[in-house]
Chains A and B, each alone.
Chain A
Amino acid sequence: GENVEQHPSTLSVQEGDSAVIKCTYSDSASNYFPWYKQELGKGPQLIIDIRSNVGEKKDQRIAVTLNKTAKHFSLHITETQPEDSAVYFCAANPKYSGAGSYQLTFGKGTKLSVIP
């Protein structure tokens, strides 16, 4: 089955600096890669996603890049703010089909701390 590795497990940055979180996946059939942010006491919230036919996607201060050949994808947060402090999860979807089930395999998460 799919295996998603996420690094680093913890990351501390100064406010205003950039943060980068990296993930690798094992199943070359995976074609959808979402990123979730989880704040304390809440469920994960989808913040950005990328599909296999795209190499990069941006949404204001966050961006995701995908290298299908190397089977890795990354989350980039620029101009970090204290409210960016949270746990971030990457995921890959290897099992989607038109009539089949839908399942995400998640990385273990990165705890991002933005220091004011």
Chain B
Amino acid sequence: KAGVTQTPRYLIKTRGQQVTLSCSPISGHRSVSWYQQTPGQGLQFLFEYFSETQRNKGNFPGRFSGRQFSNSRSEMNVSTLELGDSALYLCASHRGPGDNYGYTFGSGTRLTVV
């Protein structure tokens, strides 16, 4: 079966711009979580969506937002980009409450802010 699909794979943006990243979870998975990965901070939790509702949010500024659609696909948006937002953004798919198994990650979107 198809894995978690993230688009685009690479993105270069200028400071002050905004960006939207997309994630399609594994078929049947209704929960999508987003993580930011940087060399210094490792994997940091951004937010989790289930049934189009944000269930949990990490410690990131309000410039980071997301949403989930009825087909479970999710997008995350970063507004007013800063140099420090350069990172690998990973989407993780999960069946949802009641399923205590690990995530399946996508390959990520590499965002570079210049």
**Genuine A/B complex:** yes
Q: Which residues of A contact B (CB under 8 A)?
A: 32, 34, 36, 41-46, 49, 51, 89, 91, 93, 95-109
- Interface flags for B96-114 (1: CB within 8 Å of A; 0: not) read 1110111111111000000
B56 at the interface (CB under 8 A from A): yes
Apart from the given pairs A102-B94, A104-B103, 7 other A-B contacts in the complex at a CB distance below 8 Å: A42-B108, A43-B6, A43-B107, A44-B90, A95-B56, A97-B97, A103-B45
Number of B interface residues, CB 8 Å?
25
Kindly state the separation between the CA atoms of A43 and B33 in the bound complex, as whole angstroms: 13
B31 at the interface (CB under 8 A from A): yes
B62 at the interface (CB under 8 A from A): no
Main secondary structure of the interface of A (DSSP, over half): loop
Query: Which chain B residue shows the least CB distance to A93?
Result: B100
Given contacts A43-B90, A43-B106, contact A100 B97 (CB under 8 A): yes
Contacting pair B100 A96 (CB below 8 A): yes
